[in-house]
Structure 1
Amino acid sequence: MRRAQTKIWTIAALMLGLLLSGCGQADGTQGSVPPAPEGGTSAVNPGGAGGSKPTEPPKTPDRTEGTGEQLAAVRMDRVTAVRLADAKSGWLGGDGWIAHTDDGGQTWSPQYSGKGTVRQLFALNGREAWAVIEEGTGDSVKSRKLLATKDGGKTWTAAGTVPNGGFLHFISQETAFSANAKTTDGGKTWTTLAIPEHTKGDAYFHDAGNGWAVTQQGDTITVKRTADGGKSWQDVLSKPIVAAVTDAVIRSAGANDAWVELVGESGMTQTSYALFHTKDGGKEWQTVIANSTAGGGPAPGFPMGHTGGPKNGGSKPGALYVVSPDVAFMGGQCPACDKPNTIGWTTDGGRTWVTGETALPGYGPQLLAIADAKSGWWINTDNSEPAVMYTTADGGQSWHKVHTFEKPKPAL
């Protein structure tokens, strides 16, 4: 009898245990915690307190190459930046994407997908490159994020920020300049270099010591040079002007080299401008281009009524790309023309300027990337039509279409 009672109580205890176990699984307050994702913590709070909310999954490191699905979905439509490593390989950027080519632009492989617009690209070689990603436009730019790659773009990672919209150029893995800002830790932190008062446009520092700036005071425009990192500035070129200089663009291909573009006034879709060049630190200057227009008046630094040259094509300046102290290319644009885009170049430091015969469509900004005196890329964009890439192998004498990008989506 006693054995039968013991057996009945044992069976009852087992059944009660199973019922309690089932209830615990149902309300989520008991049971095992799911395993943590690899490299992170559990998505469920292991504290087990009643009513606690699941914790946020840990943020992954800012590794920005994008997933396979994201890259496959990239629309290469609005092209905003270009940089080559050599005549065959380089990068393009646009609204939220970076792509790479190894065949001179015939095919492009997306490498990055994310928020923001790629405003600049710079490469030291085929493996080391940087991208400036802007969020916002114009005066409402919220941030300028700096991305970097050390493996040819297989991975793009956050490197820091950029403090301004100046021309970004690295001179080593760690040292770079953007206008009068300098970094020595790859973009994590920046210091400001002193520039003269009344500076027009952005100053340009070729390296830690040598820099250039343009100032305007009254009816005089002056190019200044520093050889001590901005501590002191010397006047190296002064020109009287009869109209305001609205912008200045400076590029350099050596410690003593400077190409200075002065942009004048505009009218009737025309803008006057001039380009000057020095190879010897500013002792001697060559007038490379002097484009006076009926709508914009005389080219900066030239008298009223000036109609001489040297002339570049178009009625307003396009992109400027300096290759060396001898070689530079510059686009011209004519908004009133059916084929607005032209290009010119010099291979002798600006003593002679050649205006090419090619004229191409596209009413948006031009993009230039030139490898050497013979080889280069030229991309012409448009707000409603696809951007088109052309290449030259004969120094600009002829340009061949190699890629047509996707048609831009209408602006919202």
Structure 2
Amino acid sequence: MANATRSGNYPPLKNTEHDHAIGPLRTVELHPERRRNTRRFGICGRIAAYLMSIALAAALLPTPIGSETAHANGACRTDDHGIRLTADATGESPHFTSIQFLSASTGRAAGNGFMLGTSDAGCRWQPIYRGKLTFAQMDFVTNSLGYVLAGTSPEGPAMLLRTANGGSSYSPVPNGGNRFARIDFRTATEGFGFTFNDSGAHYTANGGAKWSKLPTPPNTRGLRFFTLEDGWAVTLAPGGYLVKRTTDGGRTWTTRLKASSAVGVGGAVYGAGGRDVWVLLYGGSGMSQTSYSLFHTKDGGASWKQVVSNATAGGGPAPGPAVKAGKLPGPAGRPADMATPDSRAAYLLAGSGAMDKLSLGRTMNGGKTWRNGAAAPGFEGKLTFPAAKSGWLAVTSLTSPAVYATRDGGATWSKTFAIPAD
């Protein structure tokens, strides 16, 4: 197995301290003020509400090139931009839970009871939604049309909702009786829903009006379908993991990678799909640490490279072939999120509640070299990279929840929005 994970057209491994080579639905109106105004002013109120929803969506349209620093004083704000976010209905302080950018300038950041938007790369932020929803995931297909997983309480189940006005209001989407933990919509109507622990996959071709369950291997604990035919699964097996691939919509699955592990927890699949895939496998956890490994294939699983082997004192050995301690280190802590904007760039975020510090591992050449560094204060975070070097980070922190941006592939980060500490 050691040879299999090292094969492929990769150069020999190198090491330095920080761099190692290697259907008709009733719209759910979520704005009480708008409802009151509509009742009070009749048709005028309805017209005003309609125009308001159009304005909110239009406000997030991409701005012309050169407007990223547009501000009255020529400088972009790094505070709360005058948007006062308050505790939610449960008394929990405002914090970020999701972020998505459709381009280097246009995106959204959301949390418990709010969604914010920017159309000038974070120079100016504005509120899109305020209410009872806590957003677990945003998946906008266009700047106006999107799907979200959101609940009315941080601990409650997430509902599948749809918006056609940029996120100011939502309508429920049938989920076929499934409780989705993650969604992935490729078009306005075609998408996937994945159940808890990525153990099951469902597909819709008509915006959720009907869902079809896709066959998956037993003991699946990590799953992604890149197309209706092409899917990858991380499965538990005696002594470790089996990573499997299907090219016929789940009717048959072929093992493409075996990785030993003392603890079987699960994993995650990222990448462009097809022949280029990244697989993250989790080991044990302890002392605010998680052991994990990151594998990459660029030939559909015929050969693999183990890019990261991050053993920890609290979590024990990393999954996969034994690697000398410290030879293939990843970002410290527990993996929090990963982004793969193209076939060469990959970013892995890790955090630790004990350290309240987020670290980022990154490669710009498909894993040939890998560099780890600090990202931002915080213990949890979400990544979005609309381009290879242009990315965003939404941070959950006890003292400084914020949104950061990078223009150099994660080498440096700048704050664009901050929620004041209580």
Q: Does residue 209 of structure 1 match 2:229?
A: yes
- Alpha-carbon offset, residue 379 of structure 1: 1.9
Alignment of 1:158-169 (within 5 A): 158-161=172-175, 163-169=178-184
Change beyond 3 A, Cα 1:73–1:331: closer
Counterparts of 2:174 and 2:85 in 1: how far apart (Å)? Answer: 24
CA contact (8 A) 2:377 2:400 kept: no
User: Where does residue 294 of structure 1 map in the other structure?
Assistant: 313
Q: Is the 8 A contact 1:165 1:178 kept in 2?
A: yes
1:137 offset after TM fit, Å? 5.5
Partner of 2:346: 328
1:66 aligns with 2:31: yes
1:73 Cα offset (Å): 8.0
Question: Structure 2 CA distance, aligned partners of 1:124 and 1:205?
Answer: 17
Residues of 1 paired with 2:279 and 2:152: CA distance?
29
Q: Are 1:110 and 2:123 matched, yes or no?
A: no
Match for 2:140: what amino acid? A
| Aligned equivalent of 1:221, options 241, 255, 270 | 241
1:96 maps to 2:95: no
Deviations 1:35-67 (A, max 9, x none): xxxxxxxxxxxxxxxxxxxxxxxxx94244525
Which structure 1 residue ranges, 4+ long, deviate > 6 Å from structure 2?
69-73
Identical pairs, percent? 32
Summarize the alignment of residues 314-325 of structure 1 with structure 2, pairs less than 5 Å apart. 314-325=332-343
Decide whether the 8 Å contact of 2:405 with 2:413 is kept in 1: yes
Of 118, 124, 143, which aligns to 1:126?
A: 143
Cα distance between partner residues in 1 of 2:338 and 2:418:
22
Residue in 2 that maps onto 1:199:
220
TM-score (norm 1): 0.75
Which residue of structure 1 lines up, in the alignment, with residue 411 of structure 2? 397
Give the corresponding residue for 1:367.
382
- What amino acid maps onto 2:260 in structure 1? P
- Where structure 2 has 5 or more consecutive residues not aligned to the other structure, the ranges are 1-24, 36-55, 57-82, 88-93, 195-200
Residues 100 and 161 (structure 1), Cα distance of their counterparts in 2 relative to 1, 3 Å cut: farther
Structure 1 pair 402/137, CA: closer, same or farther in 2 (3 Å)?
closer
Residue 254 of structure 1 is aligned with which of 273, 276, 280?
A: 273
Matches within 5 A, 1:225-244: 225-241=245-261, 243-244=262-263
Contact 2:350 2:358 in 1 (8 A): yes
Partner of 1:40: none
Paired with 2:151 and 2:285, the residues of 1 have a C-alpha distance of 28
**Equivalent residue pairs, number:** 339
Q: 1:73 to 1:372 in 2, by over 3 A?
A: closer
In the TM superposition, residue 254 of structure 1 has moved relative to its aligned partner by 2.8
- Identify the structure with bigger relative contact order (alpha carbons < 8 Å, sequence gap 6+): 2
Instruction: Give the deviation of 1:325 after TM superposition.
Output: 1.8
User: In 2, distance between residues paired with 1:404 and 1:73?
Assistant: 11
| Structure with max Cα Rg | 1
> Unpaired segments of 5 or more residues in structure 1?
1-59
Classify the secondary structure of the residue corresponding to 1:160.
Answer: coil
